[in-house]
Amino acid sequence: MATVHLRIGDLVWGKLGRYPPWPGKVVSPPKDLKKPRGKKCHFVKFFGTEDHAWIKVEQLKPYHPHKEEMIKINKGKRFQQAVDAVEDFLKKKEKQGGKEQSSEGKGDSKGKKTPTKPLKILEEDDEDLSALKDPSEKDLTDSEPSSVERLGGLGTTGPVSGFKWESSDTRSTSIQAADSTAINGSITPTDKRIGFLGLGLMGSGIVSNLLKMGHVVTVWNRTVEKCDLFIQEGARLGRTPAEVVSMCDITFSCVSDPKAARDLVLGPSGVLQGIRPGKCYVEMSTVDPETITELSQVISSRGGRFLEAPVAGSQQVSNEGMLVILAAGDRTVYEDCSSCFQAMGKTSFFLGEVGNAARMMLILNMVQGSFMATIAEGLTLAQATGQSQHTFLDILSQGQMASTFVDQKCQNILQGNFKPDYYLKHIQKDLRLAISMGDTANHPTPMAAAANEVYKRAKALDQSDNDMSAVYRAYIH
């Protein structure tokens, strides 16, 4: 069986997650971006976008041998634009004398800066980022690409990674975030007018994806300057929450905590003043069941239709359009939100009556918060006992607990990078609410209670507005 040899500059088809194969080129990553541990992968720049991503070697096919196959199975305007971009690239390269390496292995005739053999990525410290296909794996030419684990990527405008790359110490939401399933034309945006209240870490990514999918969106944020980017990309501006609700058929909100959620609805010029019979209100904030029940009742009292839909994920996941949405309440509202949920998430669950989604979300965040505190505890214990933290992470990444979450959070800790992806103060809030929910159900939550104390210690050390991984600092001060 022939081994697929790929090198820097090769043109490829890359398969990332649930996205269809997309044309790209193997490139060198930024110098300060480490490759994933234990992964045979290439760093790929996707055509027709500004996206980059680490792609497993088994999810890559050479461009030319599979061009006709891919064009037959993929449709959509953006896909065709990407293919056209490849062809333009090839024409320019031909005019320049074909000096750049192509996907068939034809290198620079002069041999300048072009590797003469496949590069490896097996060791963490290797600078070379190309890899060989494992000969024991099924030949890619004989199989359809399977799903691939998200390894981490960069970019701003394309259908794949959905994060904005600026530098190693800054990352912000791009209005042109992940296109989710829309890249193959499978999302038809609803003709209903959409409102969105709250443009924080999560809300910004959600609105970006709604706009990219063609939804008509009116936005409001307490700090109005945050609306500017979205207005530039076609969103409309609402002056108050009440105005947004009155202008829109479905209004989503995503704010920080129960008090903020109540104030948004019940406060001056709040949502309740704009609610009319038939208007839909979707609460996406992570709050307690009691708050959700109260909001549902007051919205319904004005003839409105209510759905709770908290989301599992982080800023990065929100930007990628890969959130998990937990919904409960009015089933018809859930159905009306179908295209919106497809734009912002990879899947959604309908959990029945109001309050169920809030309960499930708190349980999930309780587990995640407790797990993060335990990982931080392990890293500090390794250091205290003379063990290498890097080796601890290497071992962890090869075991049953290996995940992108663990790798990214541990890397952030080791690099001292606590730029928020999910605020520490918010995970502590969720732990507190989960513990209270356990008290109400007369169910013990000792692990969550212990983790909560560690996060409270981190907050006392001024880590509230850092990422949840900054809980690490509670162990070293």
- Per-residue model confidence as pLDDT tens digits over 67-106: 888 887 776 677 888 888 898 888 888 877 644 444 434 4
- Tens digit of pLDDT for each residue in 299-312? 999 999 999 999 99
- Tens digit of pLDDT for each residue in 399-426? 899 888 999 999 999 999 999 999 999 9
Judged against a pLDDT cut of 60, whether residue 177 lies above it is answered with no
The most confident of the ranges 73-77, 128-132, 150-154, 338-342 is 338-342
Judged against a pLDDT cut of 80, whether residue 203 lies above it is answered with yes
3-state secondary structure of 84: helix
The chain-wide mean pLDDT, for the chain, equals: 81
> Packing angle between helix 258-266 and helix 289-301, nearest 10 degrees?
10
Specify the residue for token string 């108050």.
240
User: What is the CB neighbour count within 10 angstroms for residue 146?
Assistant: 10
pLDDT at 78: 77
Q: Rounded CA gap, 356 and 292, in Å?
A: 10
Judged against a pLDDT cut of 70, whether residue 19 lies above it is answered with no
Judged against a pLDDT cut of 70, whether residue 226 lies above it is answered with yes
pLDDT at 37: 67
Nearest C-alpha neighbor of 165 from the set 53, 56, 35: 53
Judged against a pLDDT cut of 70, whether residue 334 lies above it is answered with yes
- Taking residues 143-165, report their average pLDDT: 33
- pLDDT category at 16 given cuts 50, 70, 90 is confident
- pLDDT category at 232 given cuts 50, 70, 90 is very high
- Taking residues 192-207, report their average pLDDT: 97
Nearest C-alpha neighbor of 179 from the set 196, 158, 199, 204: 158
Judged against a pLDDT cut of 50, whether residue 134 lies above it is answered with no
pLDDT at 164: 30
pLDDT at 348: 95
> What is the Cα Rg of the chain in Å?
24
- Asked if residue 42 lies in contact with residue 132, where contact means CB atoms within 8 angstroms, the answer is no
Judged against a pLDDT cut of 70, whether residue 294 lies above it is answered with yes
- Tens digit of pLDDT for each residue in 36-48? 766 688 889 888 8
- Taking residues 355-383, report their average pLDDT: 98
Judged against a pLDDT cut of 80, whether residue 167 lies above it is answered with no
pLDDT at 17: 65
pLDDT at 41: 85
Q: Rounded CA gap, 291 and 357, in Å?
A: 12
Residues 6+ apart with CB under 8 A from 141: 61, 65, 66
- Taking residues 125-131, report their average pLDDT: 32
Q: Please report, rounded to a whole number, the percentage of residues in the chain having pLDDT higher than 70.
A: 78
Lowest mean pLDDT among 84-98, 235-249, 266-280, 283-297: 84-98
Q: Rounded CA gap, 222 and 204, in Å?
A: 13
Q: Rounded CA gap, 302 and 260, in Å?
A: 21
Residues 6+ apart with CB under 8 A from 230: 175, 199, 207, 208, 211, 217, 219
Judged against a pLDDT cut of 70, whether residue 116 lies above it is answered with no
Judged against a pLDDT cut of 60, whether residue 356 lies above it is answered with yes
pLDDT at 72: 75
Lowest mean pLDDT among 126-135, 356-365, 412-421: 126-135
pTM of the shown model: 0.65
Judged against a pLDDT cut of 50, whether residue 9 lies above it is answered with yes
Judged against a pLDDT cut of 70, whether residue 160 lies above it is answered with no
CA distances from 180 to 76, 158, 339 (A): 13, 10, 11
Nearest C-alpha neighbor of 235 from the set 274, 202, 200, 194: 194
